[in-house]
Amino acid sequence: MYKCALILAAGKGKRMKSDLPKVLHKVCGKEMVNHVIDVLRTVNIEDVGVIVGKGAEKVKEATEARNVVYSLQEEQLGTGHAVMCAKNFLKNKTGTVAVFTGDAPLITDETVKKFIEFHEEGGFKATILTSILENPTGYGRVIRNKKDEVKRIVEHKDCSDKELKVKEINAGMYCFDIISLLESLEKLDNNNAQGEYYITDVIGILEKEDQKIGAIPVPFEETLGVNSRVELSQVERLMRNRINIKHMENGVTITDPNNTYIDSEVEIGSNTIIYPGNVLEGSTIIEEGCILYPNSRISNSVIERDVVIQNSVVLDSKIGEGTTVGPFAYIRPDSTIGKNARIGDFVEIKKSTIGDDTKVSHLTYIGDAEVGSGCNFGCGTVVVNYDGKNKHKTIIGNNSFIGCNTNLVSPVKIEDNTYIAAGSTITKQVPKGTLAIARAKQVNIEGWVDKKGMRK
């Protein structure tokens, strides 16, 4: 049977107190609405419509790569009105439409699949996603008859004493037969205190017409919506825990999951060990056998197998197999570090390539450079890549030795198997096999201290 989905994403979310549309706030590195879209795609629902309103252009920009269709809800007049605005998306379609909210990112692919299968196999015209709560205060109750058939949804404030004892609550997500939904939308009205159209009223319309309505309970955690920054942090914690458990089940050691922050798209190989305080962001890939000691940030980077990183920052870069980084190293975007290299403490690499087996052990800056394999940098080396107006490139050949406190003034080329004497400022090409010395000749002035009266 044909399946499609609608995502309600038109609200601004006043309680978020933000200029950003609510559904674009991120949970574990991804916008909430994109979490929902990606789950739908995981269960092979390709036809997805997103109902936009407040901040529509921002929502479109954030979701355009996911190939969805947009419907505009110019005024926010309730959930039923939102679905009304998607009539063109549903027009001429038959089958099932699932309706989800863009601010409930914890829904899982297993639940979506089970939800739709339950709806279709039961032959329901509408199916409600529900949860069972010991304390359902504030939630709309799902009322069933003695045959366990769904009769209606009653808001908490309208419940009778008997209905208040019902523990099954409406999660605000639905499956509908498309034709039945479109017919019911024509009958919706806004005769209520808020003057809004509610999708829950469609359930009442179908029930009055003796249509078959189903409800399936799922864990409450999966249905949590976000309406405030506090709720955002709660959902973030739950998803982070889910992500960390997945990695641990796949053979990753996370010594303190409560203090390890891994985005949803991060991939981690088995036998990697992650200590507390690590933040792994974006599309980062950590291969097998790595050790991430405490307090590093790695974003959109590839860390090959058996790499050790200590208390460092790696952004949009690649670290080769068997390399060690840190502590206190800063690998800036567009850098590639080779295999079995050493990037030590207080080293900054910017938009540079570092060859295999090269050691940059401490207190060094390398920017806009190509560095060969087997090189050694003494502490305090600076690649002087900026002339105040433009950036320039430095090229360093294989097996070169750069002495301490050397300045390499770009553009400059250091060929293979060269030595740079400590304290040199290099401005010209250094030929292969050469020792370069570029510093003033030492002069000792005897008796100067006494002549100047400087003796202590």
With 0-12 / 13-18 / 19 or more C-beta atoms within 10 angstroms meaning exposed / middle / buried, residue 195 is: exposed
Rounded Cα gap, residues 213 and 143, in angstroms: 11
**Candidates 35, 81, 119, 362; catalytic one:** 362
Q: How far apart are CA 143 and CA 215, in angstroms?
A: 10
The answer for 244, left when phi > 0, alpha when psi is -120 to 50, beta otherwise, is alpha
The answer to whether the peptide bond before residue 411 is cis (omega within 30 degrees of 0) is yes
* Cβ contact 356:320 at 8 Å: yes
| DSSP letter assigned to residue 125 | S
**Residues listed for the chain:** 456
Please say if 362 is a catalytic residue.
Answer: yes
H/E stretch holding 60 reads helix 56-63
- The rounded distance, in Å, linking the Cα atoms of 331 and 320 is 13
In angstroms, the Cα distances linking 163 to 55, 133, 143 are 39, 14, 7
The residues annotated with a catalytic role in the active site are 362
